[in-house]
Amino acid sequence: MNTKTTDILLTRARALRLNGLAGHWPEVASAEWVAPLIQWEEDERTHRSLQRRIRAAKLGDFKALGDFDWQWPKRIDRVAVSELMSLEFVREATNAVFIGPNGVGKSTLAQNVAHQALIQGHTVLFKAAGEMLGELAALDGFVRMGMSSHAADATMDF
């Protein structure tokens, strides 16, 4: 291995916090097993990170886009969905909202976009609109309750 290659491998080992390996670098730098070991560790960490983010995202079971029935509903914009799957809206820091009646595939499409984001290294939390609105309403009630008690305290202090 040339010096540039071993320097790159050492940088990768340090990024992985393989301190024992990095600490003994002069002794192991030219060993044939070093490059595969570092690659295995990177691959395993990437895989575990994806699995951890998938669990935390709470996507649940969903139908893959390849199995989606594009014939129904009639007005679905396949080009727009394809554009969303590119995640350009994430890079542009804009929002995407699926609107439509019950049962037309909004959640399935959103879950597919979320899964694509996870694969590309993003962190996701999937919530249906009803669940999210319920949590916001509960939070709003909690904040209002807390604010009214603070208002009462402030009134009593004067």
- For residue range 80-91, what is the model confidence (pLDDT) as tens digits? 999 999 999 999
Q: What is the pTM of this model?
A: 0.75
Number of C-beta neighbours around residue 25 at 10 A: 16
User: Residue 54 in contact with residue 122, Cβ under 8 Å?
Assistant: no
Q: Which of 60, 8, 62 is nearest to 34 (CA)?
A: 8
Residue 77 tokens read as: 């914009």
Instruction: Give pLDDT, residue 150.
Output: 52
pLDDT tens per residue across span 137-151: 888 887 777 656 555
Q: What is the DSSP code (8-state) at residue 46?
A: H
Q: Which of 105, 120, 116 is nearest to 82 (CA)?
A: 116
Instruction: Give pLDDT, residue 76.
Output: 85
